């Protein structure tokens, strides 16, 4: 569709201030840098202070639109437009202004529909619905609506920070939302996009928590509205967020085929999420999510998270509200409220202390990638809505059940306005596995809350497994180090036994290896050259960090094969030789020599015993080092 602008002043709008005909063109708006008022494009000088005007295509803080709303800050940007925080200059009151963006404000049919919906929605005056106060056009021709400015956090943000809500609080919120929907349905307004992001929690003048439903301003009207909808229904399009859409929305129904029961279905999904911090329907893809809403079964909340002690009567109410068939659901918001009141009476507020609710951590299911990636849940149990005969007057059992309190905090005062715009998507056939890209984008823009419950036994199991892993790794490391030390010791002994020096090969040298792979040489060698050679040979083995040489040099060492064992050798000579052998550390030769002495010689026998004890001690030390 062509975008038109004024041929006289180049401004865009439904009607031009100059009265000139509309011609194809672009947007134009000027503002005064002194008084910050905005003017159409044909103005060059500010009428108030004669200051030269400047061109602008975006509103900035301090600017004044329509001579009554001062821009204070930008609150958010959606697919439909931009939301600003403004101040009414005359009343000195704060509002939220939503200005339609340029890409769609040139559509004449859309402008008619937008204005009509703003007029009808302004009739919705309810304490639980965001109020629409004004409708106008900016100086460059873009339409905008002025809404009540609400301070608070939406349900999605509350679930993310606090986890599942207490049963009385969830019932209180759902009841207020249903009251706002009931009033809207009487006016012929179907919201079509009830979700946590469109339900704001604030406080009233008495300090009580109050729910406010956002986004009524762009909801699609039913055909029952007094005026005709010809050419204004944008047929073939559906509005909503896939995670909360009803089966009839997925089937592409429109007009009178989508009524207030669709909003009650979405509210049932939100209530399910408020008490469990989980969703009743999930899927790996958007197509599987659609099939879950249209054909899947759901696990009752009290069975899904039994540790939260959700009343069974509340579970049955939720199951009834999200039934696949509209005829089996609550038919009006009044019926839904009656059911909530019955559950509240059957399950009085008796908080039960528990650590389970505090352990539930909210996580996001969507990233920022272009593809929609919904997490899969492993085989949820299924349950169907009980027959009507098992239900009370409002479709609920009268039996009460205990409940549990989740940790709650005060609602931080954050300024929030109606920023999200519902994206229109093409009709989706339930049998076609092709997912509409607009539907995927709409799902990506919404943040869900998915809990992960960790119990004490899980932490104990994790701790035990961690300790076992550390033990196995430590044992393996010790075994590896032991094998390495044994290898080094064997390699050093082999090099010493094949040394070039005959005296070094025959020397008694004890080799040990420390945990730091340090080789320690103990014993006696006949020459200093043999000591140096032994140290060099030990250091040449791979893996040796350093060598500690403790070898002693004894030049007078005499080996047994050089000793004469001839008969008639004197006892004194044998004792002297045995003593020399012991001094040299050659205990085996000392023992052989002293055994030749007469057994009745006390000196020789004492020395023999000393040699034997020394030999035994040396052997034990060598065994321990190895």
Write out the DSSP string of 382-406. -B-PPPGGGS-TTS---------PP
d(CA 150, CA 203): 9
State the Cα angle at 605 between 601 and 608, rounded to 5°: 145
d(CA 447, CA 279): 12
pLDDT at position 86 over 50: yes
Per the CB < 8 A criterion, the answer to whether 415 and 83 are in contact is: no
Position 378 scores a pLDDT of 35
Kindly give the pairing relationship between strand 450-452 and strand 518-525: unpaired
Position 616 scores a pLDDT of 87
Can you read off the two tokens belonging to residue 539? Answer: 């250091």
Task: Using alpha carbons, select from 522, 520, 518 the residue that is nearest to residue 544.
Answer: 518
Please classify residue 387 by burial: count the beta carbons closer than 10 Å to its beta carbon, then call 0-12 exposed, 13-18 middle and 19+ buried. Answer: exposed
The whole-number average pLDDT for the span 505-518 is 89
Domains of the chain: 4-148 (3.30.200.20), 166-183+238-378+397-451 (1.10.510.10), 483-625 (no CATH)
| Residues paired with residue 200 on neighbouring β-strands, in sequence order | 154, 212
Extended strands (E) in 408-447: 415-416, 425-426
Q: How confident is the model at residue 393 (pLDDT cuts 50, 70, 90)?
A: very low
Position 218 scores a pLDDT of 59
The whole-number average pLDDT for the span 126-138 is 89
Q: What amino acid positions are annotated as catalytic residues?
A: 193
Kindly give the pairing relationship between strand 150-151 and strand 415-416: antiparallel
Per the CB < 8 A criterion, the answer to whether 11 and 139 are in contact is: yes
Can you read off the two tokens belonging to residue 346? Answer: 């059957």
Question: pTM of the full predicted structure?
Answer: 0.51
Torsion of CA 219, 225, 228, 229, to 10 degrees: 20
What proportion of the chain, given as a percentage, has pLDDT over 70? Answer: 70
pLDDT at position 316 over 90: yes
Which residue stretches of 498-601 are H helix? Answer: 502-506, 528-539, 571-583, 587-594
Can you read off the two tokens belonging to residue 434? Answer: 């092709």
Can you read off the two tokens belonging to residue 604? Answer: 């020789």
Q: How confident is the model at residue 84 (pLDDT cuts 50, 70, 90)?
A: very high
Backbone angles phi, psi at 569, to 5 degrees: -70, 140
Instruction: Give the CA count within 13 Å in the CB-facing half-sphere of 424.
Output: 13
CB neighbourhood size of 581 (10 A): 25
Q: How confident is the model at residue 275 (pLDDT cuts 50, 70, 90)?
A: very high
| Choice among 160-164, 269-273, 460-464 with the minimum mean pLDDT | 460-464
State the Cα angle at 140 between 136 and 142, rounded to 5°: 45
d(CA 492, CA 483): 14
The whole-number average pLDDT for the span 313-324 is 94
Position 302 scores a pLDDT of 93
Q: Which tens digit of pLDDT belongs to each residue from 539-596?
A: 999 989 999 999 888 754 444 444 444 445 788 888 888 888 888 888 888 888 888 8
Q: How confident is the model at residue 348 (pLDDT cuts 50, 70, 90)?
A: low
Task: Using alpha carbons, select from 63, 128, 135, 129 the residue that is nearest to residue 97.
Answer: 135
Position 270 scores a pLDDT of 96
| Choice among 455-469, 515-529, 559-573, 589-603 with the minimum mean pLDDT | 559-573
d(CA 534, CA 117): 101
């Amino acid at each position: 569709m062509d975008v038109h602008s004024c041929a006289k002043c180049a401004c865009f709008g439904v009607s031009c201030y100059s009265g000139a005909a509309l011609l194809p063109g672009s947007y134009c708006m000027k503002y005064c840098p002194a008084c910050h008022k905005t003017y159409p494009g044909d103005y060059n000088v500010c009428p108030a202070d004669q200051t030269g005007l400047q061109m602008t295509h975006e509103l900035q803080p301090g600017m004044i639109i329509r001579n009554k709303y001062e821009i204070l800050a930008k609150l958010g940007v959606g697919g439909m437009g931009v939301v600003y925080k403004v101040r009414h200059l005359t009343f000195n009151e704060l509002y939220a202004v939503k200005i339609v963006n340029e890409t769609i404000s040139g559509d004449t049919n859309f402008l008619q529909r937008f204005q009509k919906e703003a007029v009808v929605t302004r009739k919705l005056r309810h304490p639980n619905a965001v109020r629409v106060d004004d409708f106008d056009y900016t100086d460059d021709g873009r339409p905008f609506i002025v809404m009540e400015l609400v301070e608070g956090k939406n349900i999605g943000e509350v679930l993310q920070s606090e986890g599942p809500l207490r049963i009385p609080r969830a019932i209180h919120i759902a009841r207020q939302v249903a009251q706002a929907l009931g009033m809207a349905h009487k006016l012929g307004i179907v919201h079509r996009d009830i979700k946590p992001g469109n339900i704001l929690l604030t406080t009233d003048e008495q300090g009580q928590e109050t729910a406010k439903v956002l986004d009524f301003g762009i909801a699609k009207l039913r055909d029952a509205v007094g005026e005709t909808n010809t050419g204004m229904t944008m047929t073939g399009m559906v509005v909503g967020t896939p995670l909360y859409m009803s089966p009839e929305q997925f089937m592409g129904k429109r007009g009178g085929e989508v009524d207030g029961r669709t909003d009650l279905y979405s509210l049932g999904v939100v209530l399910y999420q408020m008490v469990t911090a989980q969703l009743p329907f999930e899927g790996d893809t958007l197509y599987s999510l659609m099939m879950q809403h249209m054909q899947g079964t759901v696990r009752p909340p009290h069975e899904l998270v039994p540790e939260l002690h959700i009343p069974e009567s509340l579970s049955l109410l939720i199951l009834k509200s999200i039934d696949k068939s509209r005829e089996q659901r609550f038919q009006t918001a009044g019926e839904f409220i009656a059911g909530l009141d019955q559950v509240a009476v059957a399950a009085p507020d008796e908080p039960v202390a528990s650590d389970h609710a505090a352990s539930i951590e909210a996580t996001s299911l969507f990233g920022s990638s272009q593809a929609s990636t919904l997490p899969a849940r492993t085989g949820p149990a299924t349950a169907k809505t009980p027959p009507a005969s098992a239900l009370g007057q409002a479709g609920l059992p009268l039996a009460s059940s205990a409940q549990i309190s989740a940790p709650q905090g005060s609602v931080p005062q954050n300024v929030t306005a109606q920023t999200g715009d519902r994206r229109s998507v093409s009709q989706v056939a339930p049998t076609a596995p092709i997912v509409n890209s607009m539907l995927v984008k709409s799902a990506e823009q919404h943040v869900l809350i998915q809990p992960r419950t960790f119990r004490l036994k899980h932490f104990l199991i994790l701790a035990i497994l961690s300790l076992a892993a550390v033990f196995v790794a430590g044992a393996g490391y010790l075994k590896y180090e032991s094998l390495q030390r044994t290898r080094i010791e064997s390699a050093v002994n082999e090099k010493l036994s094949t040394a070039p020096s005959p005296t070094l090969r025959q020397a008694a040298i004890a080799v040990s290896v420390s945990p730091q792979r340090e080789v320690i040489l103990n014993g006696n060698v006949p020459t200093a050259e043999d000591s140096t050679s032994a140290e060099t040979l030990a250091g040449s083995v791979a893996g040796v960090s350093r060598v500690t040489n403790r070898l002693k040099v004894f030049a007078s060492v005499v080996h047994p094969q050089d000793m004469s064992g001839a008969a008639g050798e004197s006892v004194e000579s044998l004792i002297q030789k045995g003593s020399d052998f012991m001094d040299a550390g050659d205990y085996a030769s000392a023992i052989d020599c002293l055994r030749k002495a007469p057994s009745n010689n006390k000196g020789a026998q004492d020395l023999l015993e000393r040699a034997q004890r020394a030999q035994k001690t040396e052997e034990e030390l060598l065994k321990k080092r190895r």
